[in-house]
Amino acid sequence: MERILFGDNQFFAVNHISDEKSRAQSIRFKDDSAILQTLDISRDNGVQTFMCTTHDRIANICDAIRANPEKYKGYKIFPCMPYAHKYANAVTELGIAGTLKQYVPGNFIGSMFKGGVAFLSKDYLSIMELLIDAEMKMFKGIDTPVIFLQNVITDLLLGLGMKDILIAFHTYVAKKYQAEAGFITMNMPMLLDVLENGGVKNPIICSSINKVGFRMSGGKELYEKTLRTRQFRAIAMQVLAGGAISPKEALEYVCNLPNVESILFGASSRANIQETVRLINQFDQSRADMILN
C-alpha cells in the first residue's frame, strides 16, 4: 500500500462536524467531472490510490478511468463495501428480508423464501459472496488490490460475535479477486484480537487514529500500545479528528506513530490536498532523518 491514500467522504457529503459543510460539498460535487478533477489534483501530488465506497456514482468514475487507460496507468482503487446508507434506508423501508430480495442478484433469496430451502450455513456465506460480487461489478478491469469491509458492517459483525463471516470475507476476496481483504473499524484493538484468533495473519485494518482520541474505542493509549506491540498493517483515518485540531499538529502525531503503513485523507481544494501531502512527506522525512542519525 502507498503511504498516502485519497478518500471520498468529501464527494458524498460526509462531514463529521458540519451539516452546512455537507450541503456545500453536495453542491460542489454534483457533477462527476468535479470528482474527476479533484482526483487529478491528488494524482498530480503523487497520490495514486483512491479509497472509496461502492456508491452508485463511483461507477461513473470507474467508467472514466477505464476510458482513459493511458492517463490512469498505475492508478489503484481500494473499494469499501457496502455503501451502508443504501442498505440502511432500504431496511427501514423494506425490512431485512425485503432488502436482501432487492439487492441480492438473481432469484436466490426469492427461491429461498418460496421453496423453504434449508438454511444451511453455506447459504448465508453464499448470500455474502453474491453481495460482494454485486458491489464489485463496477470495478471490472480496474486494479483493486485491497477490498475493504466498511466499519458499520465490520463492527456489527464484531459485536454480534460473527467472526466466521469476517474471516469468510477475507478468504473470498483473496480467492475470487486475488485481492487482500481490509477491514475498516472504530474498534481496532478488539477487531485485531478476533481476526488473529481466527487465523488471519497481519491483517489490513483501517481505523480512526488521531491525537485527540476521537472514535478510538478502548482509548488512545490502547491504540498506541497495539500499534507498538502487535503485527498488522494499519491505515490511519480521521487523522484530523473532524477538524478539531490543526492539520500540522494532527499529521505530526500520526506520522510519528510506529507501524502506521498508510494515511487516508480526503480534501476538496487544491491547496488543502497539496498542504496535507506536503506535511506528511515533511514529517516522514524528519522522522527518517532522526532514525538515521
Partner 1 sequence: MVRTGIIGVGKMGISHLAILGAHPDVSVVGVCDSSKMVTDAIGKYSPFPCYADYKKMLDEAKPDAVVVSVPTKYHAPMVRELLEKNIHVFSEKPFCLTPEEGSPLVDLARKNKLVNQVGYHNKFVGTFREVKRILESNLLGEIYHFTGEAYGPVVVKPKQDTWRSSAGEGGGCLMDYASHVIDLINYLLAPVSSVKASLLKSIHSKEVEDAVYALLELSNKVSGVLSVNWSDETHRKMSTSVTIMGKKGKIISDANELKVFFKDEAPAEYSKGWNVKYVTDLTDPVHFYLRGEEYSAQMDHFIAAVQGKIPNHLNNFESAWHTDQAIKLIKNAQH
168, 197 in Cβ contact below 8 A? no
Measured between alpha carbons, how far is residue 257 from residues 202, 210, 223, 226, 284 in Å?
18, 10, 10, 11, 10
CB of 3 to partner 1, least distance (A): 25
CB of 224 to partner 1, least distance (A): 14
Measured between alpha carbons, how far is residue 265 from residues 3, 4, 68, 69, 277 in Å?
11, 8, 25, 25, 9
Q: Which CB, 1 or 235, lies closer to partner 1?
A: 235
Q: Give the interface segment with partner 1, choosing from 33-41, 57-65, 133-141, 208-216 (CB under 8 A).
A: 208-216
29-48: contacts with partner 1 (CB under 8 A): none
Q: Which of 30, 69, 71, 156 binds partner 1 (CB under 8 A)?
A: 156
40, 73 in Cβ contact below 8 A? no
Q: Which of 2, 14, 43, 130 binds partner 1 (CB under 8 A)?
A: 14
Q: Which of 2, 13, 193, 233 binds partner 1 (CB under 8 A)?
A: 13
Quick one: which of 142, 247, 260 has its CA closest to 208?
260
Build a one-symbol-per-residue string for 56-85: x at contacts with partner 1 by CB under 8 A, - elsewhere. -----------------------------x
CB of 266 to partner 1, least distance (A): 15
**Helices 151-160 & 188-197, crossing angle to 10 degrees?**
60
CB of 17 to partner 1, least distance (A): 4
Our finding on whether 121 is near partner 1 (CB under 8 A) is: yes
Nine cell digits for residue 218: 478502548
Count CA atoms closer than 13 A to 16's CA, side-chain side: 13
| Rounded CA separation 111/265 (Å) | 43
77 bridge partner residues: 50
Q: Which of 40, 59, 68, 88 binds partner 1 (CB under 8 A)?
A: 88
Q: Which of 15, 54, 144, 262 binds partner 1 (CB under 8 A)?
A: 15
Q: Which CB, 75 or 124, lies closer to partner 1?
A: 124
| Rounded CA separation 5/258 (Å) | 18
CB of 22 to partner 1, least distance (A): 7
Q: Give the interface segment with partner 1, choosing from 28-36, 57-65, 137-145, 154-162 (CB under 8 A).
A: 154-162
Helix H or strand E segment including 262? strand 260-265
121, 128 in Cβ contact below 8 A? no
101-120: contacts with partner 1 (CB under 8 A): 112, 119
Binding site for partner 1 (CB under 8 A): 12-20, 22-23, 26, 85, 88-89, 91-98, 112, 119, 121, 124, 152, 155-156, 158-162, 164-165, 186-187, 190, 212-219, 241-244
